Amino acid sequence: MSSGSDRGFVAPVERIDHDCDGDIDTDINSDTDHDHETGSENGPRFRLNFDPDERAFLVRLLAELKELLTSEETEATAPLLHRLFPPAFHDDPDKEAEYQRLMREELVASRVAAIDSVSTLLSPAGAEDDGVGTAATQHATLSEGDTMAFMQSLNAIRLVLGTMLDITDDESSDAAETGDSYEFGLYDHLGWILEFTVRALSGS
């Protein structure tokens, strides 16, 4: 990461030092934080540096992902859902059917819970509900669990987009990096945000 040499550049997602944090708490994701017992009170905090337009745009993408996850599967959405819910057993149809029957609903619920909490974090109204107020929204901090949910949801959106763009092998992935359509641009941009999110969560 070269942020030190790049003055004026603001990372979309950053980890905040403990010393300068502690006054604002918008940890609304604690009940969906089952993956990581991070102790959100004392764990690291993170900040999203998006302007209101970009926040609104991300909220819209999240709503579209939720719509996809919770609507009846159609011919158009089947390949996308297949990528989000890949088979667990490649050679055993019975066990695979059992896995899908037992786990799929839980997987949808888990993804929707993450989407809902991230959408609330990104929405000014959500921050107001938390008593933080609109002015502070830009500086509201996230727990590690919130940031994981943000990462997972963003990654799922990027995965859907990549599948729609027919990125099916590393070659077409390379092509995507040089593509200049709106969708390719968005796909790249989400990858850029994700890269910073992973770095922030990794502590670098």
Partner 1 sequence: MPTTLEPVQVDEPAVDEELANDRPWVVIVWNDPINLMSYVTFVLKSLFGYSDEKATALMLDVHHKGKAVVASGNREEAEMHVYRLHEHSLWASMEHDE
Residue ranges that bind partner 1, judged by CB under 8 A: 35-36, 83-91, 99, 103, 106-107, 110-111, 148, 151-152, 155-156, 158-159, 162-163, 167-170, 172-173, 191, 194-195, 198-199, 201-202
Closest to partner 1 by CB, 102 vs 135, is: 102
Angle at 146 between CA 142 and CA 149, to 5 degrees: 145
Closest to partner 1 by CB, 128 vs 174, is: 174
Q: What is the nearest approach in angstroms of partner 1 to the Cβ of residue 143?
A: 14
Q: What is the nearest approach in angstroms of partner 1 to the Cβ of residue 85?
A: 7
69 in Cβ contact with 111 (< 8 Å): yes
Closest to partner 1 by CB, 87 vs 133, is: 87
Q: What is the nearest approach in angstroms of partner 1 to the Cβ of residue 202?
A: 6
Closest to partner 1 by CB, 74 vs 202, is: 202
Q: What is the nearest approach in angstroms of partner 1 to the Cβ of residue 26?
A: 22
Closest to partner 1 by CB, 127 vs 148, is: 148
Place of tokens 């990096």: 177
Q: What is the 3-state secondary structure (H, E, C) of the chain?
A: CCHHHCCCCCCCEEEECHHHCCCCCCCCCHHHCCCCCCCCCCCCEEEECCCHHHHHHHHHHHHHHHHHHHCCCCCCCHHHHHHHCCCCCCCCHHHHHHHHHHHHHHHHHHHHHHHHHHHHHHCHHHHHHCCCCHHHHCCCEECHHHHHHHHHHHHHHHHHHHHHCCCCCHHHHHHHHHCCCHHHHHHHHHHHHHHHHHHHHHCC
Closest to partner 1 by CB, 130 vs 146, is: 146
| Cα 47 to Cα 123: distance, rounded to the nearest angstrom | 14
Q: What is the nearest approach in angstroms of partner 1 to the Cβ of residue 38?
A: 10
Q: What is the nearest approach in angstroms of partner 1 to the Cβ of residue 100?
A: 11
